[in-house]
Structure 1
Amino acid sequence: MKALVLNCTLKPSPQESNTEALANIVIKEMERLGVKTTLIRIADRNVMTGIKSASQGDGDGWPAILEELLASDILILASPTWVGTLSSIAMKVLERINGLYSAVNEHGQPVTFNKVAGFVVTGEEDGARHVVTEMASALMDVGFTIAPQSYTYWNNGPGPGKSYLKSDFRKDWSSETGKAAAANIVAVAKALKAHPIPPMK
């Protein structure tokens, strides 16, 4: 079983990513459960803006990422919270995934059927649950299955404050919730692997 984790931080490598740090907890648990995991930082891949999943031109980094996505059973979308919502990079990823809307498999189903999505969100202030809702709705709309309690998040409470890597505020909750999310996501992915959604008759 394979999982793809897309880190939608605005920071290119080698800058430190709080979102990646929290995502690594989910990754570690999925790997413990036997899932092969690939992590991609979108800011390093020159993903062009567009509403199609096909290449948007020379140098577009999305087609290679799409190939990884279609070969995976699980997608974890990880985003920081900026101005109260998901990052512009996370939105760009969702717009490119939305380009799969009309793509179907050999059974006439969306190519994302039987794939399970999960979410990781970080931010210094409130808004994490809003970001989860936005991402879950977008992926569900194109055919992903959303497992119960399939997310974890961390924020530092109201007002400016320390970032995830510089604070110990309730990180234990985020960690345990991340492990539970990983277990739920993997369980649903295994169930769909054994019993895929049947095609319409």
Structure 2
Amino acid sequence: MTETRYDDLRALFINCTLKRSPELTHTGGLIDVSANIMRTHGVRVDVVRAVDHAIATGVWPDMTEHGWDADEWPAIYRDLVLPADILVIAGPIWLGDNSSVTKQVIERLYGCSHLLNDAGQYAYYGRVGGCLITGNEDGVKHCAMNILYSLQHLGYTVPPQADAGWIGEAGPDRPIWTRVRAVRTTTSPTATPRS
């Protein structure tokens, strides 16, 4: 049986953890699992940790035009978001909801959703969106619902089962990155069992 290859696709994972690099995060661990599955099938994968960048708050493409001294979002949008066929928003659950960084990234995506591509279509037309959620409390489905609704509202196509979550054991004793190597990476992303 020939393995299907996706060498012509590019994916972007935006890590919306509240922790700056190089601190390990459960969100980063889950991204590693998913990104490795994609890489195994030939997808070019980029990962950006939003909190490591000076992303201004607001809903315009470039917030320096609206009073901010600095805004790295325009470069992230141009160099990573636009070239990506697949966008995965990944973040933790805090108090039963998405992190503030997750919400900020969605607001910035929204601020660019009116822009058009070279064919005169909305910028996110023909692109696929999904999400990954981590945490040590309940709320994966609630957080995924919010992100996936937002992505489809902006113009992304959201396929079935476009979310995954890892709640894990409460506390720091069993971080996901200790188990990343145990995950099989030869399965089709659409055939991955969900728990």
Compute the displacement of 1:107 (Å): 3.7
| C-alpha RMSD over aligned residues | 2.3
Which residue type is aligned with residue 162 of structure 2? S
3-state SS of 2:160 partner: strand
Q: 1:10 aligns with which of 18, 22, 34?
A: 18
Compute the displacement of 1:167 (Å): 5.2
- Give the structure-2-normalised TM-score: 0.81
Structure 2 alignment gaps of length 5 or more: 1-8, 191-195
- Please tell me whether residue 77 in structure 1 is matched to residue 86 in structure 2: no
CA distance in 2, matches of 1:85, 1:41: 19
- Please tell me whether residue 110 in structure 1 is matched to residue 122 in structure 2: yes
Which residue type is aligned with residue 10 of structure 1? L
CA distance in 2, matches of 1:179, 1:103: 37
Match of 1:162 in 2: 171
Larger proportion of helix: 1
CA distance in 2, matches of 1:127, 1:2: 29
Q: What's the CA shift string for 1:69-126, capped at 9, x where partnerless?
A: 0011110110100011100000000001001232122443211011111111001010
Match of 2:44 in 1: 36
- Give the structure-1-normalised TM-score: 0.79
Q: What's the CA shift string for 1:126-146, capped at 9, x where partnerless?
A: 001111000001110010011
Compute the displacement of 1:49 (Å): 0.5
Q: 2:76 aligns with which of 65, 69, 87?
A: 65
CA distance in 1, matches of 2:49, 2:124: 21
- Please tell me whether residue 141 in structure 1 is matched to residue 153 in structure 2: yes
Match of 1:192 in 2: none
3-state SS of 1:139 partner: helix
Asked whether the 8 Å contact 1:26–1:179 carries over to 2, the reply is no
CA distance in 1, matches of 2:116, 2:91: 28
Asked whether the 8 Å contact 1:8–1:80 carries over to 2, the reply is yes
State, as a whole percentage, how many aligned pairs show the same letter: 32
Asked whether the 8 Å contact 1:25–1:179 carries over to 2, the reply is no
Structure 1 alignment gaps of length 5 or more: 185-201
Match of 2:142 in 1: 130
Compute the displacement of 1:148 (Å): 1.1
CA distance in 2, matches of 1:106, 1:93: 24
